[in-house]
Amino acid sequence: MKRLAILDDYLHLALRSADWSVLEPHCRIDVIDRKLEVPDEAARVLEPYHILCHLRERTPMPRALLERLPNLAFMTVTGKAHRTLDMQAAAERGIVVSHVSSAVQGSSATPELAWGLILAAARHIAYEDRSVRAGYWQRTAGMVLEGKTLALLGLGRIGQRMAAIAQAFGMKVIAWSPNLTEEAAAACQVRRVDKDTLFAQADVLSIHVVLSERSRHLVGARELALMKPEALLVNTARGPIVDEEALVEALRRNRLAGAGLDVFEHEPLPADHPLTRMDNVVLTPHLGYATRETIAGFYQATVAGVAAYLAGKPVGLR
């Protein structure tokens, strides 16, 4: 019987979100509910398994780990891609990788969280919550969003949803990305601007581009210096798009009013990280996609993907 591991089920939702019983005649199923250190701890724990089921990119799969998993034959991947999985190394070892959730419809989970972070940062909600619990009352004055400018770094599916919500708030919306055209922006009632103008005019900058070598540290010290001191930065995309050291410095020196961050250079965020000590920052633990509905869709697609593989008809191959 094959051994199957469900990785990174921190919230213990996997077995409740899909019917894994259809696989039980063929697989012994185990759930791993904690982060494994890569490569050594992961190699030791995962060595017996033939099938690994990933939840997004929580567990990296570099060559150094894959080469220490002699039994591994099949992996499922959820989300559009697993950027820390070495596909070449997997192919060289004959490991089949199935992108099982390509048919799962995108949801509003991430833009909804982004707006939660925007509102929390603009009105100092997390800080005032802590203050009330400590016996204080009304210690800050917030910012009204109506009439302000939302600057979108990226106008794909999520960026477009962000724009529609901003317009409901009565905000002006501008956008830039390397491939964005004026026509595509205008179709969303958004004004395309150049990169420097995006940062300079932003009252709220919200990041929605894909992480790649081209976008790594796309938001650095130079870009942050262009922003208004009363502006906010929100990142629900990927941590390395922002130069985290430069962001910390800008926040520390009050060159930026605040930030709402769901993603970080290194995850989980270390408890002693400078961001954890800043009252003008709202932090969430990469919750963008982490809703019951989205996770259930991922796990249901995973079960179907494993079943297809066991039937000799794997899906979502690239």
Decide if 318 is inside a domain.
Answer: no
Residues 261 and 300 in one domain: no
For position 88, which CATH number holds? 3.40.50.720
179-190 tens-digit pLDDT: 999 999 999 999
Q: Which of the following is catalytic: 124, 192, 208, 286?
A: 286
Residues 198 and 127 in one domain: yes
Q: What pTM was estimated for this model as a whole? A: 0.92
What is the number of structural domains in the chain?
2
DSSP 8-state class, residue 286: S
Confidence category of residue 106, pLDDT binned at 50, 70, 90: low
> Is 3 an annotated catalytic residue?
no
Decide if 315 is inside a domain.
Answer: no
Domain with 167, as residue range(s), is 109-283
Residues 169 and 224 in one domain: yes
Decide if 210 is inside a domain.
Answer: yes
β-strands 74-77, 232-235 pairing:
unpaired
> Is 82 an annotated catalytic residue?
no
pLDDT at 162 over 70: yes
Residues 162 and 247 in one domain: yes
Residue 94 neighbours by CB under 8 Å, 6+ apart: 73
Q: Which of the following is catalytic: 267, 292, 293, 318?
A: 267
Q: Which of the following is catalytic: 63, 238, 252, 265?
A: 238
Residues 141 and 185 in one domain: yes
User: Which whole number is the average pLDDT over 295-304?
Assistant: 95
pLDDT at 103 over 60: no
pLDDT at 80 over 90: no
Residues 296 and 203 in one domain: no
Residues 114 and 99 in one domain: no
Whether residue 268 is preceded by a cis peptide bond, meaning omega within 30 degrees of 0, is: yes
Residues 72 and 113 in one domain: no
* Residue burial 72-81, b: 16+ Cβ < 10 Å; e: rest: bebbbbbbee
pLDDT of residue 15: 97
- CA separation for the pair 26, 290 (Å, rounded): 29
> Is 146 an annotated catalytic residue?
no
Residues 114 and 262 in one domain: yes
Residues 115 and 257 in one domain: yes
- CA separation for the pair 152, 161 (Å, rounded): 11
User: Which whole number is the average pLDDT over 80-84?
Assistant: 82
pLDDT of residue 101: 80
Residues 74 and 140 in one domain: no
Residue 91 neighbours by CB under 8 Å, 6+ apart: none
